[in-house]
Amino acid sequence: MKFCVLMGSPRLDGNTAALLSPFLEECGAMGVETQIISLYDREINPCWGCASCQNVADGPGCFQDDGFEEIFRAMAGSDVIILATPIYAFFCTAPMKALLDRAIYAGTKNYGAVKGVKLLEGKRLAAIATCGYPPEKGADLWEEGLRRFCRHGGLEYMGIFCRRDRGGAEPFLNEEREQAVRDFAQAIRMAVRGSEL
Ligand SMILES: Cc1cc2nc3c(=O)[nH]c(=O)nc-3n(C[C@H](O)[C@H](O)[C@H](O)COP(=O)(O)O)c2cc1C
């Protein structure tokens, strides 16, 4: 089983990374293979909306020669896509948004010569997020965006793990959070295994 983990925080020692660390450790302990891609280290240009990808059936088909296609192929080659991001302006960070814009368009062909191809169909997707507001006010729009992204592209949405950053008023990571994010990793693996039996 393979998880493609897309890290959307610029702070590799920040809060999102603090949740990701025990999550990845738990994956390793369960024998789940992980591929971690730090999106701030990649070149992911914005979508130009040219729709040239809509005429290409057998791959993303974007005209831009940057880091997108390699990441898209890693997503398509995994069992579960994990999106890890701090909430910025009530959504994900900019490189992840650029990736999702391009993945939803290049991955779902409906608007050109090709109709009905969904390159990420059947993939599972889960999220890890951190935010300043309580999660129900800070990450609710992000979660709704993910649900609709999955519905549009034919992916299975598996849920979000989100915790609040109280800005130094208390340590971000504690025992409860660490255990809970480990449990989240286990729940994802169990759900995937269950559906394969
Ligand atoms: C530019 C910026 C925008 C942010 N926007 C929001 C927001 O809209 N809603 C929210 O709840 N928190 C917001 N936050 C708070 C972060 O989501 C929070 O501090 C997060 O834990 C940071 O994670 P990191 O340490 O991985 O960068 C914002 C933080 C920054 C730096």
Whole-number Å distance, alpha carbon 184 to ligand 1 midpoint, is: 22
Q: How far apart are CA 114 and CA 47, in angstroms?
A: 19
**Using CA positions, which residue lies closest to atom 28 of ligand 1?**
88
Span 31-47, pLDDT tens digits:
999 999 999 999 999 99
Ligand 1 lined by 132 (C-beta under 6 Å): yes
Q: How far apart are CA 15 and CA 34, in angstroms?
A: 20
pLDDT surpasses 80 at 196: no
Give the ligand 1 atom nearest the CA of 17: 26
Segments making up each domain of the chain, as ranges: 2-196
Q: What is the mean pLDDT of the chain?
A: 97
What pLDDT is attached to residue 62? 97
Ligand 1 lined by 130 (C-beta under 6 Å): yes
Ligand 1 lined by 93 (C-beta under 6 Å): no
The percent of residues above 70 in pLDDT, for the chain, comes to 99
Span 119-144, pLDDT tens digits:
999 999 999 999 999 999 999 999 99
Give the ligand 1 atom nearest the CA of 85: 26
Whole-number Å distance, alpha carbon 146 to ligand 1 midpoint, is: 18
H-helix or E-strand spanning residue 126: strand 124-131
pLDDT tier at 168, thresholds 50, 70, 90: confident
Pick the CATH number of 2-196 from 3.40.50.360, 3.40.50.970, 3.40.50.300, 3.40.50.200: 3.40.50.360
What pLDDT is attached to residue 186? 98
Whole-number Å distance, alpha carbon 175 to ligand 1 midpoint, is: 22
Q: How far apart are CA 119 and CA 74, in angstroms?
A: 12
What pLDDT is attached to residue 50? 97
What pLDDT is attached to residue 195? 81
192, amino acid identity: V
Give the ligand 1 atom nearest the CA of 139: 11
pLDDT surpasses 90 at 169: no
What pLDDT is attached to residue 38? 98
**Using CA positions, which residue lies closest to atom 4 of ligand 1?**
88
What pLDDT is attached to residue 197? 67
Q: 154, 145, 56: which is closest to 106 by C-alpha?
A: 56
53 and 162 in contact (C-beta within 8 Å)?
no
Ligand 1 lined by 135 (C-beta under 6 Å): no
Give the ligand 1 atom nearest the CA of 167: 19
